[in-house]
Amino acid sequence: MPRRALLRRCLAVVAACALAACASVPTTSTAPAARAVVDEFLLVGRLSASDGEQSAAGRLEWRRAAASDRFTLLSPFGQIVARLDAGPDGATLTFANGERLFAEQAADLLPRLFPGVAANALPPERLAAWTQAAPPPEAEVRERDAQGRPQRVIDRGWIVEYLDYRDDSPAAMPRRLDISRGDTRLRLVIDQWTTP
């Protein structure tokens, strides 16, 4: 066999072996699996909210069921300041003085519960995902920690920063987060997270 033909055949065998070796190497994804959003929970924590001009701080109790939300905002001393109930039939915001406001959806009343969010339309569905470190698929996860959990997320113009998790496990829920857009800033420290 001529030397040139032998060389071509050897190169073909080497190339085939290299392709076979590449094909047999399993591919692994470095991105962790997306965390599933829990639809029913009780979140108890401390909240501070600011729009650059006014600010408020207190305790937040958020009870979420399959078709309803109840946000209860309490003063630092434990007195109820306001309660927002939302479901398929609309939303009602009740203040401590008995004043009531009604709207078709919770998003329309959240600005009255949290100062400074009126212009930015804080989305309750997004808020549920953000507090669980489970950003929606279309959100951009800019940074992850060593366990692969989100550290900085951009979603519909909102910046969500995870400052602390409950423990070092990859499945740990967030403990402290900072949510901002423009001058609007919400800081949440989650003291209790309960699921049914």
Residue span of the structural domain in which 189 resides: 41-194
Of the candidates 77, 47, 40, the residue with the CA atom closest to the CA atom of residue 61: 47
Q: What is the pLDDT of residues 162-187, one digit of tens each?
A: 999 999 999 999 999 999 988 888 89
Q: How many domains does the chain have?
A: 1
Answer whether residue 13 is part of any domain: no
Answer whether residue 183 is part of any domain: yes
Answer whether residue 90 is part of any domain: yes
Place of tokens 């979420």: 64
Answer whether residue 18 is part of any domain: no
Tokens of 47: 């909240």
Answer whether residue 174 is part of any domain: yes
Q: What is the pLDDT of residues 26-71, one digit of tens each?
A: 333 345 567 888 889 999 999 988 877 777 788 999 999 988 999 9
Of the candidates 124, 119, 115, 120, the residue with the CA atom closest to the CA atom of residue 73: 115
Please give the model's pTM, rounded to 2 decimal places.
0.78
Answer whether residue 10 is part of any domain: no
Grade residue 23 by pLDDT with cuts at 50, 70 and 90: very low
Q: What is the pLDDT of residues 70-126, one digit of tens each?
A: 999 998 888 999 999 999 999 999 999 999 999 998 888 887 877 655 555 677 778
Name the burial class of residue 63, with classes exposed (0-12), middle (13-18) and buried (19+) by CB atoms within 10 angstroms of its CB.
middle
